[in-house]
Structure 1
Amino acid sequence: MEKILIVDDNPAILDALSLLLEIHDFDVVTASNPFEAIQAVQYQRIALVIQDMNFTADTTSGEEGKALFYALRDINPHLPIILITAWTELSTAVELVKAGAADYLPKPWDDAKLLTCVNNLIELGKAKQQN
């Protein structure tokens, strides 16, 4: 069972994404802030990350999410990372996709699209490990 890390400061988002992924047979780990996310990636075998872009109340710049994305990239350059946010700057999305983000999805997300993206990235990761 593949382990997916969800990073979001909103407990309702963590619960909703966890439930969606668990009913589709994924093992889920959650983190409510960047520090917990970095710890999880350092000490657990994470197959994929779904991360928010803002973690402090009333913050919408995406800078916290960018910093976390690059920190996770430093730990594991091949880790697939899906970015989700209610507040998005097109320039931030373009920058992070160019830097290797697997996808950039708005909140609220489309369950089917998110699951398709997750499944495709997990399968791609498995194929790369076999080669």
Structure 2
Amino acid sequence: MKQGRILIVDDNKNVLSALRILLNTYFEEVTLLSSPNTLLTMLKEKNPDVVLLDMNYSAGINTGNEGLFWLSEVKKAAPDLPVVLFTAYADIELA
């Protein structure tokens, strides 16, 4: 039985599509964002149970700092909301 709401943020549309296909089996609502710029608004509108948050959004930058920034913003807005950070870059020390 599907339960819960998940909000996924990633700038790669192929990753978003794959995650929707995979997680739609488990969650009753899967919301996708291709940019974190509207993340805080969507937290209020969709009231997700969990957020899946990419660590990198700008081309050529793969330090993970962008994801950490957005993690801190989410935690300010919703301190108890579980957030899972992920990245496609295996060489990022933070991963």
Output the TM-score relative to the length of structure 1.
Answer: 0.65
The DSSP-based 3-state class of the residue aligned with 1:35 is: helix
What is the CA–CA distance in structure 2 between the aligned matches of 1:46 and 1:40, rounded to whole Å?
Answer: 9
Shift in Å, 1:55: 0.6
Max Rg structure: 1
Stretches of structure 1 that go unaligned for 5 or more consecutive residues are: 94-131
| Residue of structure 2 equivalent to 1:51 | 53
Stretches of structure 2 that go unaligned for 5 or more consecutive residues are: none
Does the CA-based 8 Å contact 2:35-2:57 persist in structure 1?
Answer: yes
**1:77 aligned to which of 76, 79, 90:** 79
Shift in Å, 1:7: 0.4
- The answer as to 2:10 corresponding to 1:8 is yes
What is the CA–CA distance in structure 1 between the aligned matches of 2:26 and 2:50, rounded to whole Å?
Answer: 15
What is the CA–CA distance in structure 2 between the aligned matches of 1:57 and 1:25, rounded to whole Å?
Answer: 30
The DSSP-based 3-state class of the residue aligned with 1:77 is: coil
Alignment of 1:105-124 (within 5 A): none
Runs of 4+ in 1 over 4 A off after TM superposition: none
Alignment of 1:82-101 (within 5 A): 82-87=84-89, 88-89=92-93, 92-93=94-95
Shift in Å, 1:51: 0.8
Output the TM-score relative to the length of structure 2.
Answer: 0.87
Query: How many residues matched?
Result: 91
Which structure exhibits the higher relative contact order, with contacts defined as CA atoms closer than 8 Å and separated by 6 or more residues? 2
What is the CA–CA distance in structure 2 between the aligned matches of 1:43 and 1:63, rounded to whole Å?
Answer: 26
Aligned residue identity for 1:3: R
- The answer as to 2:25 corresponding to 1:23 is yes
The DSSP-based 3-state class of the residue aligned with 2:80 is: coil
Report the aligned-residue RMSD. 1.3
Greater share of helix residues, 1 or 2? 1
Aligned residue identity for 1:16: A
